[in-house]
Amino acid sequence: MDTTPPRIFSEQRRESSRLRLLTLQRRREDPARFVHDDMIEDIAERLAFVRHDPARALVIGDFSGELAKSAFPAAAQVDEADIVGRQAIDLQNPFPGNGYDFIGVLGLLDTVNDLPGALIHLRQALAPGGLVIAMFPGAGSLPKLRAAIYAAEPDRPAARMHPLVDTRAAAELLQRAGWKDPVVDSHDLKVRYGSLDRLVGDLREQGLGNVLFSAPPPLTRAGLDRARAAFMEQADDDGRVTETFSILTLSGRRSLAGT
């Protein structure tokens, strides 16, 4: 029986998207980062609530470095890692280090091919009793964009947007991965747009673009015009479209026994 996970996402395209994110964040005067900032604020609040003060923490996917500054001012050691950049960690393989009291993951998990394996590796990188909090866009995200893309190619639509994980599936995955005290929840982040192009720009600046393994062909000019029109047909009376980013949060621990 072949247990190899399906290749839904392209590792090369994911890394290219991440590199573009870092470039745009550095070069743009005021780049979009509201999804990233929302996740940092949420994780910091959760850590304060549970009064978790790790001596050794690992933060993955924080291109700003703000989570380590705001959440772990007293930590003896905070390692920062990314898919590309300061330190490379492959979420789908055993981590090069372990014994962390806390691991925070911002994004990234929504575009790995082996999500169950990634969740197992996160647990195994923890010290006994250690805590993981991972956040990424989940089911319910970008409904207005999805409708617009479908309208662009009504007869033979290409796969242009990622499949997304919902809370029920995430809870089952955490149990399969052996997390102790698993908790899954989500919250919606609403953003208003005056054009489809601005939304697409925000997605690129935050590394949220298409990284599917089978890259779709570019939209034709006519298809793009249809998508723009369909997007704006969903506008409120003030001419702006309210788009939703549904942020999924997975949290849990490694058992005190270290299993």
- Full pLDDT tens readout for the chain, 259 residues: 556 788 999 999 999 999 999 999 999 999 999 999 999 999 999 988 887 778 888 999 999 989 888 777 666 678 888 766 667 788 989 998 899 999 999 999 999 999 999 999 999 999 999 999 999 999 999 999 999 999 999 888 888 899 999 999 999 999 999 999 999 999 999 999 999 999 999 999 999 999 999 988 999 999 999 999 999 999 999 999 999 999 999 999 999 887 7
What is the structure's pLDDT at 85? 63
* 180-193 sheet: strands from edge to edge: 77-81, 56-60, 100-106, 126-137, 241-253, 180-193
Structure tokens given for 2: 């072949």
Structure tokens given for 34: 């509201």
Residue 139 DSSP one-character state: T
Burial 137-150 (b: 16+ CB within 10 A, else e): bbebbbebbeebbe
What is the structure's pLDDT at 53? 76
Q: How far is CA 191 from the centre of its chain?
A: 17
Structure tokens given for 188: 């919606």
Unique residue bearing structure tokens 């006994």: 128
What is the structure's pLDDT at 81? 83
pTM, 2 dp: 0.93
What is the structure's pLDDT at 55? 85
What is the structure's pLDDT at 6? 85
Instruction: Give the helix/strand (H/E) hosting 113.
Output: none
What is the structure's pLDDT at 69? 82
Instruction: Give the helix/strand (H/E) hosting 222.
Output: helix 221-232
